[in-house]
Structures are given as C-alpha cells and as structure tokens.
C-alpha cells in the first residue's frame, strides 16, 4: 500500500537568507583577462549571474510558478519520490513518463507541459535529485522505482517513457526490465562508445563517432570521472558555496547547448538559476553526483540492446550520434537529426523537442 501525499514547494526563509549571505561573501578566484569559457565557467558571466541572483532573481516567484503544477510525494522501496502528475483532458490520453539527467532536474520539462496535452504526464525527480530522497540509485534501481510508481501507485498498466542523459539510461532499463508495460520509448541520446567495441565490426560513421567521443572525454569528461570515483570530495565545496555550485552546473549548460551566440540566447538567467536553486535548497548535489558512482562498473539492463520500439532525436548541440550506432543500441523506429537544440533540448528548444516526441509516440499508436 502506497500513500501519495500532495506536495508544495515552500523553502524556509532562513535558507534564502543564508543563501544571500553566502552570495554576498563569495571569495572570487583570480582569472586570466578575457579568458571567457576556455578554462571552464566564464568568470565575467558567473559574476553577472551571481549579481542578478542577489539583486534581481525572485525565488518566491519561481516557486509559485512551479507550484501551479500538481506535485506529490510517495515512498517506494524506502525512498521518497517527488513527482509532477499532470492529467490530460483527453479521454484517450496515454501516460508518458519524462526522465531528466544531470545537472538538470524535473525543471527540464516545465516548458513542454503545455505542449503535450494529449498525455498524462508524470515528471519525477530521480532518486538523489531535487525533492526526492538523497539516495543514489543505479539505472535499474530507478527503473524499478518508476515502474512501481507508474503501475502500482498511479495505476498505469502500460506507459511510454522519454529521457536523456541519466534519464535515457533509466528509460532503457525500463524497456528491458518491463517490456510488457513499456510499448515504446523516446531518447535524445543512446549512450556512447567506451572503447570495448570491436571496431572492425563498426561502420566508418561509427568509428568516426567513437573517435569524436574519445576526444570529447579527454577534453570534457573529467567531471564524469570525478563523479564516478570521488564525488564526496567535490561535495564539500559545492554544497557550501552557491557560486561554486553555479559554476559547476552552468559550465555544462554552456558546453552542451547549441553552439551559436551566447548562453543567454538559449537559457534565461531565471531558468539557469531556478535549476541551480533546486539543487541548492534540497542539498542534492552530492547524491546526484553519487549516481555516477553507483552506476560505475555495474551490469545493468540499460547496457543491453533495447528491443522495444524507440524514437531517437539527435540535437546539434549534443554528441553527433550516427544512425548505425543508434541501431546498435536500440530498436530504432524513428531517427531524426534536429535543426537546433542541445543536451537539454526540452528546456532549450521545447517546441522542437515536444513535436518530435509527440510525433513518434502517435506513430506508434497507429501501428
């Protein structure tokens, strides 16, 4: 028996007052002149963001906007799970589970809620993230929790699932562990070559993709190795310094977006800060990073090829996945190279992402 409780975000004022104190007393590091994003987060942009955080950003306004959506918590396998549940007015609505990754949260999908009105939307905070419990789970562990949420708590015998980043791993686990309950999935990435593949059996496009990913890991992948091996060490600083937390998260939003013009042409300061605030007020940066460590060196269902019908949308700001690689990992029924958007496409280019996801699942319903 599961007890679902209505949930309202209501951060204590003492937390917000303490945040302002920490922002005012940020001890800024030195930086080379005009370095931009070359060595990581641009110091000029970060200082402007922190100044706005202190003097312009209104958490209570963002909190009220989030609370317009029906939110709930339920305990599953001793883990508190926070989720949004937006029911469609359509009598033929299909349930759709939307799963985020790192360093975003359920907020990734806020903009697509009004665009997917033909679905009953379930948008949870992954274990270890946001307003869910501070317990890091593997892809399979989260998949089991979300299968319970959808089937036993909400009463959906079958449901679609879509996700990216950690959310794609959980979605693949759901498809492999519960094929009778998950008739189709949609992904914005399918995983990447890790060097264990037999390159002689890979196409030229796959081999080139593998080389790109290898170069990317050398240039951009240090964060993932740190999360997978020493997350506790970073957590002390990131949980203590809001400017440090912002720097760690913002760098990814900048690097993983459509690479044209500046970051604020893709995400507003309010959007960036609201995502950061959810990490700050819940103190989940450590447990979210720990998700990498618990997944490390595990035999997971998410690593197996998915036979469930799958839609794949590859956005230009993300890894340039070839169709052949996607077909190696999942049962591709729709493969689209998108014109704009990046790793956080549902937040960066919500109309494009929502239209693509909606088109794919409706194609599956007609088969």
Please indicate whether residue 343 is annotated as part of the active site.
yes
Nearest Cα neighbor of 166 from 187, 197, 193 is 187
Determine the Cα–Cα distance for residues 264 and 267; give it in Å rounded to an integer: 5
Average pLDDT of the chain, as a whole number: 96
Q: What is the pLDDT of residues 141-155, one digit of tens each?
A: 999 999 999 999 999
Whole-number pLDDT of residue 173: 97
Angle between the N-to-C axes of helices 166-177 and 139-148, in degrees from 0 to 180, rounded to the nearest 10: 60
Q: Which two tokens stand for residue 87?
A: 């029911």
Task: Pick the catalytic residue from 104, 186, 343, 358.
Answer: 343
Q: Express as a percent the part of the chain with pLDDT over 90.
A: 94
- As a 3-state breakdown, the chain gives helix, strand, coil percent values, each rounded to 5, of 50, 15, 35
Whole-number pLDDT of residue 195: 83
Q: Which two tokens stand for residue 268?
A: 């507003």
- Residue 295 pLDDT level (bands cut at 50, 70, 90): confident
Q: What is the pLDDT of residues 106-115, one digit of tens each?
A: 999 999 999 9
The CB-side HSE value for 357 (13 A sphere, CA atoms) comes to 31
Q: Is the separation of the CB atoms in 313 and 355 below 8 Å?
A: no
Q: Which two tokens stand for residue 180?
A: 């009778």
CATH code for the domain defined by 5-28+39-365: 3.40.50.1820
Please indicate whether residue 39 is annotated as part of the active site.
no
Whole-number pLDDT of residue 260: 82
> Can you give the residue ranges of every domain in the chain?
5-28+39-365
DSSP string, 141-195: HHHHHHHHIIIIIS--SS-EEEE-THHHHHHHHHHHH-TTT---EEES------S
Q: Express as a percent the part of the chain with pLDDT over 70.
A: 99
- Residue 178 pLDDT level (bands cut at 50, 70, 90): very high
Angle between the N-to-C axes of helices 231-240 and 222-229, in degrees from 0 to 180, rounded to the nearest 10: 100
Please indicate whether residue 100 is annotated as part of the active site.
no
Q: What is the pLDDT of residues 60-101, one digit of tens each?
A: 999 999 999 999 999 999 999 999 999 999 999 999 999 999
pTM for this prediction:
0.97
Whole-number pLDDT of residue 234: 97
Task: Pick the catalytic residue from 279, 292, 295, 358.
Answer: 292
For the four alpha carbons of 137, 128, 347 and 206, in that order, the dihedral sign comes to negative
- Residue 197 pLDDT level (bands cut at 50, 70, 90): confident
- Residue 297 pLDDT level (bands cut at 50, 70, 90): low
Q: If you average pLDDT over residues 280-307, what whole number do you get? A: 92
Task: Provide CB contacts within 8 A for 200, sequence distance 6+.
Answer: none
Task: Pick the catalytic residue from 165, 295, 318, 358.
Answer: 165
CA dihedral 321, 139, 156, 129 (to 10 degrees): -100
Strand, coil or helix: what is 264?
helix
């Amino acid at each position: 028996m599961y007890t679902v409780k209505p949930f309202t975000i209501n951060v204590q004022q003492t937390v917000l007052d303490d945040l302002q104190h920490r922002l005012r007393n940020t001890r800024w590091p030195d930086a080379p002149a005009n370095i931009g994003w070359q060595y990581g987060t641009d110091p000029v942009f970060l200082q402007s963001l922190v100044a706005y955080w202190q003097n312009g950003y209104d958490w209570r306004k963002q909190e009220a906007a989030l609370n317009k959506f029906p939110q709930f918590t339920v305990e599953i396998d001793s883990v508190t799970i926070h989720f949004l549940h937006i029911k469609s007015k359509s009598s033929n609505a299909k349930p759709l589970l939307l799963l985020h990754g790192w360093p975003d949260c359920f907020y990734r999908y806020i903009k697509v809620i009004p665009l997917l009105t033909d679905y009953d939307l379930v948008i949870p905070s992954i274990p270890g993230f946001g307003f869910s419990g501070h317990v890091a789970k593997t892809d399979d562990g989260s998949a089991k929790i979300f299968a319970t949420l959808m089937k036993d708590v909400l009463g959906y015998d079958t449901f679609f699932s879509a996700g990216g980043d950690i959310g794609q791993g959980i979605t693949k686990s759901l498809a492999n562990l519960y094929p009778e309950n998950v008739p189709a999935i949609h992904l914005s990435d399918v995983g990447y070559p890790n060097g264990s593949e037999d390159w002689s059996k890979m196409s030229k496009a796959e081999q080139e993709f593998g080389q790109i990913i290898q170069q990317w890991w050398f240039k951009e992948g240090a964060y993932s190795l740190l999360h997978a091996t020493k997350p506790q060490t970073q957590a002390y600083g990131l949980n203590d310094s809001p400017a440090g937390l912002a720097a760690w998260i913002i760098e990814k939003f900048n690097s993983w977006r459509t690479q044209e013009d500046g970051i604020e042409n893709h995400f507003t300061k309010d959007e960036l800060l609201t995502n950061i605030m959810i990490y700050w007020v819940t103190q989940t940066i450590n447990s979210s990073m720990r998700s990498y460590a618990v997944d490390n060196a595990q035999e997971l269902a998410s690593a197996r090829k998915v036979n469930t019908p799958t839609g794949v949308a590859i956005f230009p700001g993300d890894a340039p996945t070839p169709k052949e690689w996607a077909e190696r990992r999942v049962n591709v029924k729709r493969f689209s190279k998108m014109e704009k958007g990046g790793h956080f496409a549902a937040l960066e280019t919500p109309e494009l992402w929502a239209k693509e996801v909606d088109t794919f699942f409706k194609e599956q319903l007609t088969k």
